[in-house]
Amino acid sequence: MSLSTFATLLERLAFTPQRLAKERLLAASFAQIPDPDRGLTLAALTGDLKLRQVTPSLLRGLTETRADAQLFRYSYDFVGDLAETIALIWPEGTRSDPPLSEVIHELSTTPRTRLPALIATRLDSLGPSERYAYLKLATGALRVGVSARLARSAFASWANLALPQVEEIWHALTPPYLDLFAWAAGTAPRPEAAARAPFRPVMLSTPTDLDQLSALDPAAYAAEWKWDGIRVQAVSDAGTRRLYSRTGEDISPAFPDIIDLMTFDGTLDGELLIRRGDQIASFGDLQQRLNRKTVTPALLRSHPAGLRLYDVLIWNGQDLRDQPYDARRATLAQAVATLDPRIDLSPNLPFTTWDDLAALRAAPPADVIEGVMIKRRDSPYLAGRIRGPWFKWKRDPHLIDAVLMYAQRGHGKRSGYYSDFTFGVWNGDDLVPVGKAYFGFTDEELRELDRFVRTNTVERFGTVRSVARTRVVEVAFEGLNRSTRHKSGVAMRFPRINRIRLDKPAAEADHLSTLQAMLPKDD
């Protein structure tokens, strides 16, 4: 498979809006592309290629040596996507069409000091479409509207396998997945590495509300708090202990204190939290330990981790996922009784009616509770997001009125619009930025905001525009933490633009003191 063929596939995926159409397109491609390129294509779409990812600053620096720097900046401001801008502005050279496998091998093995020269040489020999595909591979940001799950689903469809069969073994496999494709073709048995896949796909919930719940029998469901940490899977198998995020990322190095507590034999599902005695700290405290390769003794003392368990998948060699929730819960309760107190059981909530549960949800005992989880008592543990067995009923989001301050172009399908917005609130007579949002609005609201930015720009900073401080937006967010990285001293969790407030003047937007009053009490 040549790079040009890969580029054509990316273009077709990017311009195919329907999910099922993308899946069919990928399934057909897997039937036509030879090994190892189809496995490399699958890995590129699932984000599992281990390349020496190239930074935007490196690419900008390279481009400014081959094209007029000012023209490049103006073009980038207009196009909004760095790879697309470079692909179009890079000078034409002698065309070549290298194999995809050769390109990926180069990007994954070339020392960092030699990457700039390699990339420049490759760009010199490629056409615009191939340059675009090459740069997307190099930066690890394909952005063609294909999630990792959709790519795996397309493979399963082509292979005539159930998606759970693929996801069950996925994390034990490595690109280019020759054994996986051989198994799918019926020329080899199930991959041997899959026999002890360390990570198992997690079961996910779907959002709900009181109106939807009213059609269900509350006696058929159990409920527990939804804690504001991160979902993890704790695996202890044959002496190997690992802690995984819900997407299968190994986060063990950041939490050696939890690894030390995993003296069991099994796979447990729960929430990773920072615990000081009986108190659960805010998500901001947990962030201090995430994404670290090592943790200092001081941080272990000041930010001790704990694990609050929801479910058990495997225990003492027995796979329990086919058992109903109530049976798994009973096994989990017995298991927790044998573990360190820093690994405990998320308690079930007492309720008879949905109104009872609504009252509990409205007055949780701690600020770090996001809402409630609702689980059907007879439900097995199923991989993925299956509507019906598990629900999440989150607390109503916080709302504030803020003033638009800056805007930046989006990426992919939004590269023609200003869709990334920074907003602020008043601190005395000054506006201070408190967050950034790039979703929540409708397509029509996006066009309205884009028009406002274009007609009210007062200053430009590269690809960022500063706008007149006249437009108010209602911002919804899930929580708030203190932050030393932001001038305002606060950081929002999952901010989104809820609506445009054309009825409100900027002077009536909220003040920083309003946000400060929302900060968790344990801060």
Catalytic residue IDs: 226
Dihedrals φ, ψ of 329, to 5°?
-65, -40
Q: How many CB atoms lie within 10 A of CB 2?
A: 16
| DSSP string over 59-107 | HHHHHTTTS-HHHHHHHHHHH--HHHHHHHHSPP------BHHHHHHHH
Q: Which amino acid is located at 112 in the chain?
A: R
Say if residues 3 and 126 touch (Cβ distance below 8 Å): yes
Q: Which residues contact 291 (CB under 8 A, 6 or more apart)?
A: 254
Q: How far, in Å, CA of 234 to CA of 215, rounded? A: 35
Q: Which of 446, 454, 521 is nearest to 481 (CA)?
A: 521
| DSSP string over 392-447 | EEEPPPEEEEEEEEEEEE-SGGGTTSEEEEEEEEEETTEEEEEEEE--SS-HHHHH
Q: How many CB atoms lie within 10 A of CB 457?
A: 14
Q: How many CB atoms lie within 10 A of CB 405?
A: 19
Q: Which amino acid is located at 283 in the chain?
A: F
Q: How many CB atoms lie within 10 A of CB 114?
A: 11
Which uninterrupted H or E stretch holds 368?
A: none
